[in-house]
Amino acid sequence: MITGATSGIGRACALRFAEGGYDLILTGRNADKLEAVKQAAENKGAEVLTLQFDVQKRECCEEAVASLQGKWSQIDVLLNNAGLALGLEKEYEGSMDDWETMIDTNIKGLLTMTRLIVPRMVERNHGHVINIGSVAGDAAYAGGGVYCATKAAVKAITDGLRIDVAESAVRVTNVKPGLVETNFSVVRFHGDKDRADHVYQGIQPLTGDDIADVAFYAASAPEHVQIAEVLVLATHQASGSVIHRDMNRKENLS
């Protein structure tokens, strides 16, 4: 099961896991995009079930999970990917609506899906939870305090879950990407693509496929191996706030 599977890292993970022989439960808010990624995954040989709902809404999450029947209720991997950043204002000038959306999606949505899926994994003594965190969870950066706090929460929640299931064979992984070129920045800047494009100037960023490869590697490790945490950065990125940019890169010349 992959949440937020309609674009970016989620979509890339859907296609990578389809290639790896998994059948997929894909969730997202946009029906058309869900159908598109479903078709792409089916073309790679996967059997796919889609569930359209917003992880911010607990009742919808509960209804979606309750609807799963037969093999679909026996989830081997839960990939909590749904998440977003909104705004880059100073904390004392930020939008409270943006804050609520980030907290409700990045923290509460992840917790809800974990609470609904993991009990069956523990009961079966088999399963894997992969949470998509961020380098932003390691340290705050200017204008990103609330988003960074949500990703720090993802780290703490992931570590706490790993402790809580240690007596079982359920594995728990936190994948923490750095600069990944998806629609992430377009969403953060509320559709301002020009501003979003500047985020990736002067550096070759990661792609959704890069992160999908890491998630699949973690899921494919032998049963006795638990990849607890992976920090994945672009080559010229040292941390969430330290990036070396070469503004003479050809793709950045007009």
Confidence of residue 247 (pLDDT cuts 50, 70, 90): confident
Contact (Cβ atoms closer than 8 angstroms) between residue 44 and residue 19? yes
DSSP string, 113-149: HHHHHHHHHHHHT--EEEEE--GGGTS--TT-HHHHH
Rounded to two decimals, what is the model's pTM? Answer: 0.94
Helix, strand or coil for residue 223? coil
Listed residue (9, 111, 4) closest to 52, CA to CA: 4
**How many helices (DSSP H) and strands (DSSP E) are in the chain?**
9, 6
What does the pLDDT look like over 180-204, one tens digit per residue?
999 899 999 999 999 999 999 999 9
Catalytic residues: 147
pLDDT of residue 27: 98
Read off the pLDDT of residues 85-138 as tens digits, 9 standing for 90 and up: 999 999 999 999 999 999 999 999 999 999 999 999 999 999 999 999 999 999
C-alpha 160/C-alpha 172 separation (Å) is 10
Q: What is the pLDDT of residue 72?
A: 98
Query: Any residues with CB less than 8 A from the CB of 241 and at least 6 apart, and which?
Result: 139, 141, 142
Provide mean pLDDT across the span 71-85: 97
Provide the pLDDT for residue 250.
59
- Looking at the DSSP bridge assignments, the partners of residue 172 are 129
Query: Quick check: 251 pLDDT over 60?
Result: no
